[in-house]
Amino acid sequence: MDAIHLSNIRAYGYTGALPEENVLGQWFQADLTLYLNLAEATQSDRLADTHDYRTVINGTQQIIREAKFALIERLAGAIATLALDSDARLQRVMVKVTKLTPPIPDYTGQVAVEITRDRIQ
CATH number at 64 reads 3.30.1130.10
The total of other beta-carbon atoms located within 10 Å of residue 34's CB is: 25
| Contact (CB, 8 A) for 36 and 91 | yes
Catalytic residues: 99
Alpha carbon of residue 66 to chain centroid: 14
Instruction: Give the chain's domain count.
Output: 1
Global pTM value:
0.95
Q: Mind listing the pLDDT tens digit of every residue in the chain (121 residues)?
A: 899 999 999 999 999 999 999 999 999 999 999 999 999 999 999 999 999 999 999 999 999 999 999 999 999 999 999 999 999 999 999 999 999 999 999 999 999 999 999 998 6
Domain with 51 in it: 2-118
